[in-house]
Amino acid sequence: MDTNKIQKSGVAIASLILGIISFIPAVGILLGIIAIILGIIALSQIRKREFSGKGLAITGIILGVLGIIFSILLYGSLFYYGFIAKSGPFTEIKVKVSKMTLTQDAGLLELYKKKYGKYPESLEEARKAGFQIYGMDHYLKPFYYKVSNNGQSYELRSLGPDGIYGTADDIFPEK
C-alpha cells in the first residue's frame, strides 16, 4: 500500500497539539490527560483503519505525560517554597507579608478594644465578634497571641521561620 495516500489521524494531530500545550501550567494536567487519551485512541485507530500518524500519537502521549510531570513539579515547588520551606526564594516575601498581616490584625485588636474596653482573650474571640483577623503567618503557623491579665495590653507575633518563641527571626507588627 502506498503510504503517501494514507490519511493522517486527526486524533493523533490533536494529541500532539494538546501534548505541546500541556506545558502551560494553568491547564497542563488537564490537557496532558486529554493528550494521552487522544494518543491512545489514535494508536487504536491507526492499527484498525490504516491511518498514518503513529509517531504523532506517540509524541502526543509522551508530551502529555511530560506536561503533567512539569505541572506537578512546578506547583509542588511553589507550594513547598511558598508554605513549607523555612528558607528559599520566597523567604523575604513571607516575612513581609506576615508582618503586614500582623499589623492588620493589631489594628483590628485596637478596634476590638475600643468597642469592648479590653483586648480579646484569643484571636478566635475577636473573629467570633466579627473582626476579620487572619491569625496565621505565611509559614502556616498560628500567630502567638497573649493578652495581659487585665486585658489592657497584649503580645502579638509570628514565631518566624524557625517556629520558636523569642528567637531573632520572630516577626512583629509595624508600630
Q: Are 163 and 139 in contact (CB under 8 A)?
A: yes
Whole-number average pLDDT of the chain: 90
Is the pTM higher than 0.85? no
Domain boundaries, the chain: 3-84, 91-157
User: pLDDT, tens digit, for every residue of 129-141?
Assistant: 999 999 888 888 8
Dihedral sign, CA of 50, 19, 62, 40? negative
User: pLDDT, tens digit, for every residue of 50-109?
Assistant: 789 999 999 999 999 999 999 999 999 888 887 777 777 777 888 899 999 999 999 999
Cα–chain center distance at 76: 8
